[in-house]
């Protein structure tokens, strides 16, 4: 049997590593654009699912997603002023590039949030029918990112979706389950004093009419369930969209 020298073995391994890393880098660069497009599409689909323009599980072509998404109006809210950001074109605004600002300790366990946040308005008969707001906060394994769709009354929930999280499939990952998401519509974010009241309970909630502030818990996933409650408390509260939503309902469809 032929014996290879140590030098040959090292050189061979090194060359193989080099070729593999070049191939990987080329693939990463070549696929970057496609990955970004897919991430964008996934986010757009999530917005459409939150407002139930498309239903979870529906197979929709990328072209159809883009066509439906084009009917929704983006707006950019400045969390420092709680008003629409001045001099910002919402169509051109890229959320990923927004400046981050530190926030005091909060329920969602977020240390920083974007200064400017892209939201969406769905119109019907020339008026805003729904607002779709991004939400995020810590679960058990990491941050969950999603959208909450509200009626123009700013309290009635139309739907919720998560498009990015690290929770365990079958446990916290059930935030993606269409059945769990079906528990949300028609429940209320705020109580009669406009305090955030919506929360995920342990076990099953009654109907939205008799139990408007409770949502069924995710079984075996108390930490994720608490994470969902806490992120809504933060994003719908004073530090999040609370003041913007107040001025929206007081000043009408703006
Ligand atoms: C492998 C593994 C994965 C888990 N994933 C989650 C999860 O995604 N979300 C969650 O809240 N709890 C998860 N848990 C359970 C938590 O550790 C904890 O026991 C649970 O949240 C308690 O909820 P319960 O009171 O409903 O049983 C996981 C546990 C194990 C062992």
Contact by Cβ (8 Å): 34, 141:
no
Contact by Cβ (8 Å): 202, 217:
yes
Q: What is the pLDDT of residue 254?
A: 56
Contact by Cβ (8 Å): 225, 218:
yes
Which helix (H) or strand (E) element contains residue 214?
strand 214-215
| pLDDT tens, position by position, 183-196 | 999 999 999 999 99
Question: Which tokens hold the place of 52?
Answer: 């139930």
From ligand 1's centre to the CA of 170, what distance in Å? 10
The pLDDT > 70 percentage for the chain reads 98
- Given a cut of 70, is residue 201 above it in pLDDT? yes
CB-CB neighbours of 164 under 10 Å = 14
Q: pTM above the 0.75 mark?
A: yes
| pLDDT tens, position by position, 21-31 | 999 998 888 88
From ligand 1's centre to the CA of 210, what distance in Å? 29
32: pLDDT confidence band, cut at 50, 70 and 90? Answer: confident
From ligand 1's centre to the CA of 220, what distance in Å? 6
Of all protein residues, whose CA lies closest to atom 11 belonging to ligand 1?
Answer: 221
Domain layout of the chain by residue ranges: 72-251
* Pocket test residue of 201, 223, 229, 231 for ligand 1, highest count of atoms within 8 A of CB: 223
Q: Where are the beta strands (DSSP E) in 52-204?
A: 73-78, 83-84, 100-102, 112-114, 116-124, 127-138, 143-151, 157-164, 199-200
Question: Mean pLDDT over residues 157-181, rounded?
Answer: 97
201 lines ligand 1 (CB under 6 A): no
Of all protein residues, whose CA lies closest to atom 15 belonging to ligand 1?
Answer: 221
| pLDDT tens, position by position, 73-109 | 999 999 999 999 999 999 999 999 999 999 999 989 9
Atom of ligand 1 nearest to the CA of 220: 26
Q: What is the pLDDT of residue 1?
A: 61
CB-CB neighbours of 227 under 10 Å = 28
CB-CB neighbours of 140 under 10 Å = 17
């Amino acid at each position: 049997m032929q014996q290879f020298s140590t030098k040959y073995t090292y050189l061979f391994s090194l060359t193989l590593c080099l070729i593999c890393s070049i191939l990987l880098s080329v693939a990463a660069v070549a696929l970057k654009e496609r990955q970004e497009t897919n991430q964008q599409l996934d986010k757009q689909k999530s917005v459409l699912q939150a407002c139930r323009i498309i239903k979870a599980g529906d197979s929709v072509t990328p072209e159809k997603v883009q066509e439906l998404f084009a009917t929704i109006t983006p707006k950019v809210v400045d969390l420092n002023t709680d008003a629409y950001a001045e001099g910002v074109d919402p169509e051109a605004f890229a959320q990923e590039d927004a400046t981050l600002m530190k926030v005091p300790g909060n329920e969602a366990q977020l240390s920083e949030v974007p200064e400017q946040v892209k939201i969406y308005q769905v119109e019907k008969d020339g008026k805003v029918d729904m607002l779709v707001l991004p939400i995020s906060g810590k679960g058990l394994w990491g941050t969950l990112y999603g959208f909450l769709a509200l009626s123009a009354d700013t309290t009635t929930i139309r739907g919720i979706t998560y498009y990015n999280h690290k929770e365990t499939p079958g446990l916290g990952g059930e935030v993606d389950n269409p059945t769990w998401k079906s528990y949300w519509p028609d429940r209320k974010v705020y109580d009669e004093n406009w305090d955030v009241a919506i929360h995920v309970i342990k076990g099953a909630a009654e109907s939205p009419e008799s139990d408007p502030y409770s949502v069924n818990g995710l079984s075996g996933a108390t930490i994720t369930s608490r994470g969902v409650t806490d992120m809504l408390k933060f994003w719908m509260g004073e530090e999040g969209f609370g003041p913007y939503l107040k001025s929206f309902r007081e000043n009408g469809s703006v």
